[in-house]
Amino acid sequence: MDAGVGLRAKPGAWAGLGNPHRSSTARFPVRFAAEKLAQPLVLGSDRRSCGAKLKVSCSRKPAGIEKAYYSADEALLLKQKAEDVVPYLNDRCIYLVGMMGSGKTTVGKILAEVLGYSFFDSDKLVEKAVGISSVAEIFQLHSEAFFRDNESDVLRDLSSMHRLVVATGGGAVIRPINWSYMKKGLTIWLDVPLDALARRIAAVGTASRPLLHQESGDPYAKAYAKLTALFEQRMDSYANADARVSLEHIAVKQGHNDVTVLTPSAIAIEALLKMESFLTEKAMVRN
């Protein structure tokens, strides 16, 4: 889960992190979840209404979601690169993949805003679909497999739509069926060094991270060990993404030694650059 609504582009904010109970093991359709959303999880324009199975109203400035703030230079670059990318997207959805805490939600909301897309967090839709207020609680009351089944349902329904930026859960990549849904759009891997992830997660706690919360001991050490094991299981799956956004690469370009000083908008700019490169190369091959 990469929650977090405020998108002010401050150094160190690159990994914005972010709940009735139901004991039945029955699965609920995603459209049920979408219809129950109290507020639309949307940023961007209203040029295309959201339809299909997810009946969520689209609005230019939904209640409860702050507008992102950037420096003048970043705002200009974001605008320019978004204008370059849009003609090649053809209304395809964008799926952000990556480890927990990698900033998928924070960066995803920026991308949705500048591209005129709508934004969804797949974890939040699963929570709404099953009537349980957090992923950690879903794991506790049911199982990881139950969560993964509902996650696949969410991605299936989202894949039938257009003009969405979707922040996926860290483990969404492990099921091949999920890739069949996400590959209908464009997939972007936010690749963050494990040390930086462990430091960030240790600082805010692991209560919302069910795959990290079982072990006792030093928060950083247990976070780093578990993240390392998870990454080894998932790295080949992450590499299936159409484009990779390496925070280490961005930091080197900016002359930094620490990726945690990067702003979310800087990461979003790099994501747009990678998207443009992938899409233009694909268009050249097709022609």
Domain ranges of the chain: 89-279
pLDDT of residue 67: 56
Instruction: Choose among 24, 55, 76: nearest CA to 272.
Output: 76
Instruction: Residues 89-279: name the CATH superfamily.
Output: P-loop containing nucleotide triphosphate hydrolases (3.40.50.300)
Mean pLDDT of the 74-101 span: 96
Percent helix, strand, coil in the chain (nearest 5)? 50, 10, 40
26 pLDDT band (50/70/90 cuts)?
A: very low
Does position 125 have pLDDT exceeding 80, yes or no?
A: yes
Rounded to an integer, what distance in angstroms lies between the CA atom of residue 161 and that of residue 167?
A: 15
200: how many CB neighbours lie within 10 A of its CB? 21
Is residue 164 within 8 Å of 94, Cβ to Cβ?
yes
* pLDDT tens column, 208-262: 455 555 566 688 888 899 999 999 999 999 999 999 999 999 999 999 999 999 9
Is residue 42 within 8 Å of 56, Cβ to Cβ?
yes
Rounded to an integer, what distance in angstroms lies between the CA atom of residue 37 and that of residue 124?
A: 10
pLDDT of residue 129: 95
Q: Which helix (H) or strand (E) holds 186?
A: strand 186-191
Mean pLDDT of all residues in the chain? 79
SS3 69: strand
Rounded to an integer, what distance in angstroms lies between the CA atom of residue 205 and that of residue 252?
A: 29
* pLDDT tens column, 174-215: 999 999 999 999 999 999 999 999 998 887 765 545 555 556
Kindly state the tokens that stand for 78: 């974001």
Rounded to an integer, what distance in angstroms lies between the CA atom of residue 276 and that of residue 285?
A: 14
Is residue 53 within 8 Å of 155, Cβ to Cβ?
no
pLDDT of residue 17: 32
Q: Which helix (H) or strand (E) holds 31?
A: helix 30-35
pLDDT of residue 71: 83
Q: Which helix (H) or strand (E) holds 120?
A: strand 118-121
Percent of the chain clearing pLDDT 90 (strictly above): 63
Instruction: Choose among 114, 116, 134, 115: nearest CA to 126.
Output: 134
pLDDT of residue 66: 46
